[in-house]
Amino acid sequence: MTIIDPDIRKAETLPSRFYTDLETFNSIISSFGENWHFASHRNQLSAAQPIDNSLREPMLLTQVDGEIHCISNVCTHRGMLVCTEESDAKRLQCPYHGRIFSLDGQFRSMPEFDQVENFPTPDDDLRNFPLSEWKGLLFNTISATDFESFISAVEERVGWLPVADFTPDLSRHREYTIDSNWALYVDNYLEGFHIPFVHGDLHDVLDYDAYSTELFDGGVLQIGIANEGEPSFDLPEGHPDYGQNIAAYYFWLYPGLMLNFYPWGLSINLVIPETADKTRIVYHGFVGDASMLGQGAGGDLDKVEAEDQFIVEGCQKGVSSVAYERGRYSPTKEAGVHHFHRILTQ
Ligand code: FES
Ligand SMILES: [Fe+2]
């Protein structure tokens, strides 16, 4: 049992086995079904699309008459994936032996099954999973319940943005596989401490001393303040940050969801653990104000991403060393990392 001291001044960081040991990795990710995960934006749905996130469970988003369902993508006959790519079909047909389901998952027909007794039953339908929506963003889970408290910190700060009307921009989609544990990627995301050392261009547009970190249940919010003359949000009166030049709201929601709000819109990164030392990073971009693209903190995300990947892949090699076990935290700059490690070990 690993304890991360609640007092950051006394605490030691996560032991290295959290980043390297397969058993530890498996035991952590086996509980991801208890969390909400980003699935898609309502504005980018087709009739049926496989979900790509950290739930290790084949699932589909389907849409019938504007109603969205999250259903199992596993055929109830012999387990083939029903749908392997996005489709606009009016029904789902398993590619293995032709079983047909309606888009809400109900069994419809099956060749060569006339003689089967007591068939079909509800067990032959595709199972439904919980789905929740916040301003067009769709989230799914296996067994999480309280969606309101999951999203409340986001709602409180950026609920005024017309996220439901943002336009999915496929040109901003990215997918990387990196040689690093997923938690190292999250650690790196959760502090602005490294910005002056790692991100020269980003450092030029952000006010390093004003960068702030707020902790909440199940997540962290970091706020980047714009340097003089750099783009910032036009906050509504009465907003808690009214009067400040906010360049970016960086939300991290446990385990691996990052919602990055910039004056141009929203960039989402999904941190998808593959194995102890392999992680997939998936980016989705949603544009609210195209005139703000290419500037400020959210201006060149590819460059920032490459700089971060260089660091986390280097750290993966480092934490695998016999010379490294654990470190200490900066109380002024690493509260977000400490908070994450507390969540991970509780
Ligand atoms: S596995 Fe789907 S029809 Fe046989
Ligand atoms: Fe970074």
| pLDDT, tens digit, 9 for 90 and up, residues 305-330 | 999 999 999 999 999 999 999 999 99
Side-chain half-sphere of 162: how many Cα atoms within 13 Å? 8
Q: What is the pLDDT of residues 204-240, one digit of tens each?
A: 999 999 999 999 999 999 999 999 999 999 999 999 9
Ligand 1 centroid – CA 82 distance (Å): 8
Band the pLDDT of 66: cuts 50, 70, 90: confident
Q: How far apart are CA 62 and CA 47, in angstroms?
A: 5
Would you tell me which CATH number, out of the four given (3.90.380.10, 3.90.1310.10, 3.20.20.80, 3.30.420.10), belongs to the domain 17-31+162-344? Answer: 3.90.380.10
What are the φ and ψ backbone dihedral angles of 310, each rounded to 5 degrees?
-60, -40
- Ligand 1 probe mutation, 74, 76, 91, 96, most atoms within 8 A of CB: 96
Reduced to 3 states, what is the DSSP secondary structure of residue 111?
coil
Q: Residue 269 in contact with residue 286, Cβ under 8 Å?
A: no
Class of domain 37-140: mainly beta
Ion ligand 2: residues, CB < 5 A: 308
Q: Domain ranges for the chain, please list them.
A: 17-31+162-344, 37-140
Q: What is the pTM of this model?
A: 0.97
Residue-wise pLDDT for 3-14, tens only, equals 999 999 999 999
CA of 211 to the centre of ligand 2 (A): 13
Task: Report the C-alpha gap between 261 and 249 in whole angstroms.
Answer: 5
- Which candidate, 60, 56, 31, places its Cα nearest to that of 45? 60
CB atoms under 10 Å from CB of 244, counted, come to 17
CA distance 264 to 116: 57
Q: Is residue 223 within 6 Å of ligand 1 at its C-beta?
A: no
69 ligand 1 Cβ < 6 A:
no
Max Cα distance, the chain (Å): 76
